[in-house]
Structure 1
Amino acid sequence: MAFSLDMTSAATLKAEAKALRQEHARAGNPISHGAALEMSAKAHGYRDWNTARALLPERVSAPVQVGSRAKGTYLGHPFRGLVIGVNLMADMQHYQVTVKFDDPVDVVKSEHFSALRQRVTATVDIRGVSLATTSDGEPHMRITRE
């Protein structure tokens, strides 16, 4: 199954249902967990929660896994390295990835000095592309499995 940034997961619908239930409780109109799940599923175009649950993945796929080898670019420089951390963000669509580079990457473009990085952490989407960009619009990190 292919994934996109707007791909909903079962975990996302569950989180939305929990928030919906809390909203209703604050407004003095409490609803059951089941009713919140049904409302969340219908809001995403599914007939009911059971249909949504049967069709949706539990979570969106991670671009890399802890302990795997990775390659890509960091601040425009190619790298290869070891993934030493992957954390799913609260929106269930992004990951905080920590990579230990095989060879340090110089993050400065100046010819007058260097600033080498051996280990970096970046937030990436499910395609492995960071949200943060350089001033010229290039993503800070692009990462894929090696």
Structure 2
Amino acid sequence: MSTSLPTPAQAKAQARQLRVDLKSDGREVSHGQSLELVARQHGYRDWNTFHAAMGNRPPDGFAPGGRITGRYLSQSFSATVRSVEMLRPGWFRLELDLDEAVDVVTFDSFSNWRKRIRGTVGPLGQSPEKTSDGVPHLQIDI
């Protein structure tokens, strides 16, 4: 089994390219057959097993000690991941230690600075919670 897995999109692109290569050699296979072949190339018995392995791992940097960047309440940050918990495939609860504290209050009369934050992000790296103007609270650069 390969230790460095592609993303599902990369694996599907590999399957498309494999179909093109096989067709140029006079051997036509269906898209499903090419997915199965790509899974076996990576050491998995079938596409479903391979897809589950790809989907059950966090994105790069989503590990304790990992480095990530993004925006929290519309403010850019870079941070060290303190903890990560998979809630369901594609959804993660992160605790981040920001390099620089961010002000979480938009009023001019006072401030509230945070250096450590917790949040949940989905497959697109965005939290389901949004500000009043529709911007996700937490957005991770993926």
Shorter-normalised TM-score: what interval?
0.5 to 0.7
Q: How does 1:12-27 map to 2 (within 5 A)?
A: none
* Offset, 1:54: 4.2
Q: Which residue of 2 aligns with 1:120?
A: 117
What CA deviation, in whole Å up to 9, does each residue of 1:96-128 have, x standing for no partner? 011001111001111110011110110001332
Say yes or no: does 1:105 pair with 2:102. yes
Task: Indicate the structure whose relative CO is greater, using CA pairs within 8 Å and at least 6 residues apart.
Answer: 1
CA RMSD of aligned residues (A): 2.3
* Offset, 1:2: 3.8
- 8 Å CA contact 1:72–1:79 kept in 2: the answer is yes
* Offset, 1:57: 3.1
Name the % identity. 29
2:52 is paired with a residue whose SS is: coil
Hey, what's the Cα distance between the residues in 1 that align with 2:48 and 2:83? 29
Output the TM-score relative to the length of structure 1. 0.60
Q: Which residue of 2 aligns with 1:82?
A: 80
Task: Point out 4+ residue stretches in structure 1 off by more than 3 angstroms.
Answer: 1-4, 50-55
Q: How does 1:31-110 map to 2 (within 5 A)?
A: 51=46, 53-60=48-55, 61-63=57-59, 64-89=62-87, 91-110=88-107
Hey, what's the Cα distance between the residues in 2 that align with 1:134 and 1:119? 19
Hey, what's the Cα distance between the residues in 2 that align with 1:55 and 1:71? 28
Structure 2 unmatched ranges of 5 or more: 1-5, 10-44
Give the direction of change, closer, same or farther, for the CA distance of 1:80–1:55 in structure 2 (3 Å limit). Answer: closer
Residue type matched to 1:104 in 2?
A
Give the direction of change, closer, same or farther, for the CA distance of 1:109–1:136 in structure 2 (3 Å limit). Answer: same
* Offset, 1:51: 4.5
